[in-house]
């Protein structure tokens, strides 16, 4: 028998090492390295049986049958994020903070797919079947023909799935799954990796689509779904702020569709309802135009979304001024502040800066730069931007404005929601949209001069 070589991995970042050490070389965390109890250490299981490899000429693929069609759930927000429905034999990871609504979303999705003719199995490792049924009742889904199971033993689950051969199996959650041939505790990196590997190979082998639910926690003890991200075809994140009812399902990786697509939902007393016009929703709480508030015309995936960006700038009582950001990147804010100071001579030293993206939305698009700069200036100068105006454009370190992609879609969305003017970088494909006065500029100094009458 070959000598068993040990491997170790970090429970925080999942980096693997040949030796144990007190500190992870990759993420720098202490006491997170654990020995991997590999699958090969345990008794062989049925599903782990030897499968002979076979080679295939590239051209042979063309003669294979066309892939079965995608299935729509009828929940538009979900179908779009999946890239146009569920692909057979695909493995999907849905990650998110505990309590954000993953189980609710997937129970609703399970019912929706079942109503559209799929054979669906929902396996919960966190709740008893009765609890899942109660939740389904509350969601008005009690009649859906979804088979429920409460199980955490991976071998039992695979046996059940093998017998049932559903078209869709939902595993809630991957952290509760336990492979009996791996010695470590459920939720450890080795367990999560083993369970995900088994389930994704099952999907590929049998054509069942598998959805894995994964909790993301900050503690190192529970493996986040990061380890699993490489194994699956599609990674979706379910995001939102606890106090806000809005939830965003975002594709961060998708082998079968565009990444960065979002679906917007609202958590209600009867589960999640789809938000078909997110711009209206994100702007619904906006009052009269006020200093520090700017509407950004963004693009999320394939869809334009208008969001309000709010800034507050106040003299700092502290020796070190505060920079607080919600919904945007802190590093990017520091960059915008530096550009405003260096290129336009507008200092923020000694001022506390708070930046917030309204509605619990998270923005990662660089085209938000100009909207953020506008909000900061507007707050600092205590001057509201012209009413009914949207702003977008990327800012370079030189203070030049770079044209954004999909200008026309942004303008059309703004027009649909009753906006009448837009501030955007000059250049790119010149487009006009009826009803929108476009004010285009080449650099930040021109913008400051024109909008705030100062330099």
Residues flagged as binding site: 96-103
Per CB under 5 A, 71 contacts Mg ion: no
Q: Output the known binding site for ATP.
A: 96-103
Q: 53 by DSSP, 3-state: which? A: coil
DSSP code at position 401: E
Stretch that binds ligand TYD, among 220-228, 268-276, 290-298, 337-345 (CB under 6 A): 268-276
Stretch that binds ligand TYD, among 85-93, 132-140, 313-321, 373-381 (CB under 6 A): 132-140
Q: Decide the pairing of beta strands 33-35 and 8-10.
A: antiparallel
Q: Which of 12, 37, 80, 102 binds ligand TYD (CB under 6 A)?
A: 102
Of the candidates 368, 307, 296, 364, the one whose C-alpha atom is nearest the C-alpha of residue 336 is 368
Question: Measured on CA atoms in the order 366, 371, 375, 378, is the torsion positive or negative?
Answer: positive
187 contact choice in Mg ion, ligand TYD, none (CB below 5 to 8 Å, kind-dependent): none
- Shortest distance (Å) from residue 290 CB to ligand TYD: 31
Per CB under 6 A, 80 contacts ligand TYD: no
Q: Peptide bond preceding 125: is omega within 30 degrees of 0, i.e. cis? A: no
Of the candidates 282, 313, 250, 296, the one whose C-alpha atom is nearest the C-alpha of residue 96 is 250
Residue showing tokens 């069609």: 69
Q: Which is nearer to Mg ion, 213 or 307 (CB)?
A: 213
* Residues in contact with ligand TYD, shown as a per-residue x/- string from 388 to 417 under the rule CB under 6 A: ------------------------------
d(C-alpha 348, C-alpha 313), whole Å: 8
100 contact choice in ligand TYD, Mg ion, none (CB below 5 to 8 Å, kind-dependent): ligand TYD
* Partner residues linked to 122 by β-bridges: 148, 170
Token readout for 32 is: 């997170």
What does the angle CA 78 – CA 218 – CA 174 come to, to the nearest 5 degrees?
Answer: 50
Q: Which is nearer to Mg ion, 103 or 167 (CB)?
A: 103
- Shortest distance (Å) from residue 102 CB to Mg ion: 5
- Shortest distance (Å) from residue 172 CB to Mg ion: 6
Q: Which of 18, 49, 243, 269 binds ligand TYD (CB under 6 A)?
A: 269
Per CB under 6 A, 96 contacts ligand TYD: yes
Residue number of the CB atom closest to Mg ion: 103
What residue ranges in 301-446 does DSSP mark as E strands?
303-315, 323-326, 351-357, 389-391, 394-395, 401-402, 421-425, 437-441
d(C-alpha 398, C-alpha 339), whole Å: 7
d(C-alpha 347, C-alpha 339), whole Å: 10
| DSSP string for residues in 110-154 | HHHHHHTT--EEEEESSS-HHHHHHHHHHTT-TTS-EEEEE--BH
Q: Is the separation of the CB atoms in 218 and 332 below 8 Å?
A: no
- Shortest distance (Å) from residue 215 CB to ligand TYD: 7
Q: Which of 95, 125, 271, 360 binds ligand TYD (CB under 6 A)?
A: 271
Q: Decide the pairing of beta strands 234-239 and 91-96.
A: parallel
Phi, psi of 400 (to 5 degrees): -75, 150
322 contact choice in ligand TYD, Mg ion, none (CB below 5 to 8 Å, kind-dependent): none
Stretch that binds ligand TYD, among 55-63, 91-99, 278-286, 340-348 (CB under 6 A): 91-99
269 contact choice in ligand TYD, Mg ion, none (CB below 5 to 8 Å, kind-dependent): ligand TYD
Residue 236's H or E segment, with its range, is: strand 234-239
Per CB under 5 A, 374 contacts Mg ion: no
Q: Which of 67, 68, 98, 345 binds ligand TYD (CB under 6 A)?
A: 98
Q: Which of 119, 133, 138, 439 binds ligand TYD (CB under 6 A)?
A: 138
Listed in sequence order, the residues at least 6 apart from 269 whose beta carbon sits closer than 8 Å to its beta carbon are: none
What does the angle CA 235 – CA 240 – CA 242 come to, to the nearest 5 degrees?
Answer: 135
- Shortest distance (Å) from residue 270 CB to ligand TYD: 5
Q: Is the separation of the CB atoms in 261 and 250 below 8 Å?
A: yes
Stretch that binds ligand TYD, among 102-110, 193-201, 257-265, 325-333 (CB under 6 A): 102-110
150 contact choice in Mg ion, ligand TYD, none (CB below 5 to 8 Å, kind-dependent): none
Q: Which is nearer to ligand TYD, 139 or 384 (CB)?
A: 139
Residue showing tokens 């960006």: 309
Q: Which is nearer to ligand TYD, 103 or 251 (CB)?
A: 103
Stretch that binds Mg ion, among 4-12, 66-74, 96-104, 287-295 (CB under 5 A): 96-104
Per CB under 5 A, 103 contacts Mg ion: yes
- Shortest distance (Å) from residue 124 CB to ligand TYD: 10
Residues of this chain that bind Mg ion (CB under 5 A): 103
Q: Which residues would be at the binding site for ligand TYD (CB under 6 A)? A: 96, 98-104, 135, 138-139, 267, 269-271
């Amino acid at each position: 028998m070959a000598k068993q070589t040990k491997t170790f991995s970090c429970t925080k970042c999942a980096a693997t090492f040949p030796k144990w050490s007190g500190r992870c070389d990759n993420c720098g965390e202490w006491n997170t390295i654990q020995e991997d109890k590999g699958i090969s250490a345990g008794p062989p299981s049925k599903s782990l049986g030897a499968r002979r490899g076979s080679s295939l000429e590239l051209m042979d693929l063309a003669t294979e049958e066309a892939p079965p069609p995608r299935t729509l759930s009828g929940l538009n927000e979900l179908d779009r994020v999946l890239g146009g429905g569920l692909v057979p034999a695909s493995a999907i990871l849905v990650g998110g903070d505990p309590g954000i609504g993953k189980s609710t979303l997937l129970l609703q999705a399970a019912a929706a797919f079942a109503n559209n003719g799929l054979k669906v199995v929902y396996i919960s490792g966190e709740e008893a079947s009765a609890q899942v049924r109660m939740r389904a009742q509350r969601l008005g889904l009690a009649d859906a023909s979804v088979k429920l199971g409460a199980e955490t033993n991976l071998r039992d689950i695979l046996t059940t799935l093998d017998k049932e051969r559903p078209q869709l199996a939902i595993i809630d959650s991957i952290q509760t799954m336990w492979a009996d041939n791996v010695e470590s505790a459920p939720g450890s990196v080795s367990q999560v990796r083993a369970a995900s590997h088994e389930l994704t190979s099952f999907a590929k082998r049998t054509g069942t689509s598998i959805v894995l639910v994964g909790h993301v926690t900050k503690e190192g003890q529970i493996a986040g779904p990061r380890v699993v991200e490489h194994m699956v075809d599609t990674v979706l994140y379910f995001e939102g702020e606890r106090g806000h009812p809005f939830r965003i399902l975002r594709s961060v990786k998708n082998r079968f569709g565009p990444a960065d697509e979002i679906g917007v939902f609202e958590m209600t007393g009867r589960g999640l309802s789809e938000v078909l016009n997110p711009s209206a929703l994100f702007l619904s709480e906006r009052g009269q135009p006020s200093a520090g508030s700017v509407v950004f015309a963004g693009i999320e995936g394939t869809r334009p979304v208008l969001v309000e960006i709010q800034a507050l700038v106040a003299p700092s009582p502290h020796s070190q001024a505060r920079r607080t950001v919600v919904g945007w990147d802190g590093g990017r804010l520091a960059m915008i502040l530096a550009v405003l100071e260096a290129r336009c001579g507008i200092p923020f030293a000694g001022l506390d800066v708070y930046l917030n993206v309204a509605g619990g939305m998270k923005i990662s698009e660089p085209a938000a730069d100009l909207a953020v700069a506008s909000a900061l200036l507007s707050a600092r100068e205590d001057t509201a931007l012209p009413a009914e105006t949207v702003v977008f454009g990327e800012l370079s370190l030189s203070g030049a404005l770079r044209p954004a992609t999909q200008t026309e879609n942004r303008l059309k969305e703004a027009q649909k929601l009753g906006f009448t003017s837009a501030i955007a970088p000059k250049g790119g494909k010149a487009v006009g949209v009826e009803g929108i006065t476009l004010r285009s500029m080449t650099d930040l100094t021109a913008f400051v001069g024109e909008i705030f009458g100062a330099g």
